[in-house]
Amino acid sequence: MLADYFRISLRNLRKRKIRSFLTILGIVIGIVSVVGLISIGQGMQQAINEEFKTVGQDRIIIKPGGEGFTGSTPVTAEFSTEKLYEHDLDVVKNSKGVYKAIGVIIDTGDTEFDNTIKYNNIFGVPTDSYSISFIKTVDFFIIEDGREFEQGDKYKAIVGYRTAKELFDKEIRIGNKVIIKGQEFKVIGIQKKTGSPVHDSMVRIPLDVSRDLLEKDDKEFTTIFAKVQKGLDPINVAESIKKELRNDHDVKEGEEDFTVTTSVQLMEGFNNILNIVQIVLIGIAGISLFVGGIGIMNTMYTSVLQRRKEIGIMKSIGAKNSDIMIIFLIESGILGIIGGVIGVILGISLSKGVELIAFSLGVELLKAYISAPLIIGALVFSFLIGAVSGLMPAMQAAKLQPVDALRGF
């Protein structure tokens, strides 16, 4: 019996090919949007989570300025009116649970190579043995070619992977000279590729030199990085640092002129932002699905009007109301599932295309993530949209009396 229902439904849809195609198109657009956006959003979340794992969950970041936009990341800390100094670094080092800590300068500036000028991130890092031992434990500072800074290095530079390989027309090699903010530096190292635009596009120079070039105050830092002692909870250590800095700055809780963030908290913050963006975008895509559902409903209502004679004949030879209703529900469900299948295929293709374009532009955090729950969920959802949209027309068709259906034909 069920096979007969499907055979009748498919035959009716084939009779109205153009109308069926236009109806399916509305579902396709909605499913493409939903699958594409969810795929890219989940891919970005995974990439960001992997990025933070490479940094390490035992890292704590201290920045000038209270909670807010300017204190949200190390790079934006330069815009804060508050400052961090070597005295603050000493407080952090002496806080309970801190294994090591270093202060750095992070800013943006021009880098010239082969008569071409580009703007990128400039990291001023200390070159003493204590600090270098810390830097060597941070994944995005690992050297792929050349060497790390040594104590006494002055006008030397270490460049990120993208800065060396992709930023300029000519590849930067060990021993080449680059001009940073008008000062010539010799390249002694090239960092390994991390996939992060911030870290792959950086140029590292000695801290003291960076203060002069970037016009920072003597003994000033834009960011302090701390590493937690093994076995301790980074959240508890972060609270200890906050307490010590509050006492030192003589400020009350909630009135801090600094921000202390763990890698886990920073990762959660990015994920929350991505979740909100995804919800908004999926809501917009949902409008397309709603319009597609209205299209199915309209098509099925029209089908009921055009097939009154057919319905009357089926009822006159013994078809029950439930039989008529099931046939129309199957038709609307098929419209939904066909739109869903096409939409899933196009949505996956779209997200993969975005990933390839982003990769060609050097952005590796924009990735597509395709999962079985996403595909199955999209197909089930598209079928339900079709079935629900066809419910009212199906009920109308089922209620037609044989005499009324055949009258006028």
Closest by Cα among 80, 50, 51, 59 to 265? 59
In 3D space, the residue among 311, 234, 240 whose CA is nearest the CA of residue 56 turns out to be: 234
Whose CA is closest to 78, among 216, 239, 204? 216
pTM for this model (two decimals): 0.63
**Sign of torsion, CA 26 30 33 39?**
negative
Residue type, 175: G
Q: Measured between alpha carbons, how far is 304 from 390 in angstroms, rounded to an integer?
A: 11
Element (H, E) at 258: strand 258-262
Strand partners, 59: 227
Q: What is the full DSSP assignment across 28-54?
A: HHHHHHHHHHHHHHHHHHHHHHHHHHH
CA distance linking residue 154 with residue 2, whole number of Å: 81
Q: Are 279 and 272 in contact (CB under 8 A)?
A: no
Number of neighbouring beta carbons within 10 Å of residue 140: 19
The domain limits of the chain are: 2-52+269-406, 59-229
Q: Per the structure block, which two tokens stand in for 190?
A: 């090239």
For the chain, what is the mean pLDDT?
Answer: 82
* pLDDT values of the chain reduced to their tens digit, one per residue, 409 residues: 667 666 766 777 777 777 778 778 878 888 888 888 888 888 877 777 776 665 567 889 999 987 654 444 444 444 455 789 999 999 999 999 999 999 999 998 899 999 999 998 999 999 999 999 999 888 888 899 999 999 889 999 999 998 999 889 899 999 999 999 999 999 999 999 887 778 888 999 999 999 989 888 888 899 999 999 988 888 899 999 999 999 999 888 888 889 998 877 777 777 777 778 778 777 777 777 777 778 777 777 777 766 677 777 777 777 787 877 888 788 888 888 888 899 899 989 988 888 888 777 766 667 788 888 888 888 888 888 887 877 777 777 777 676 665 664 4
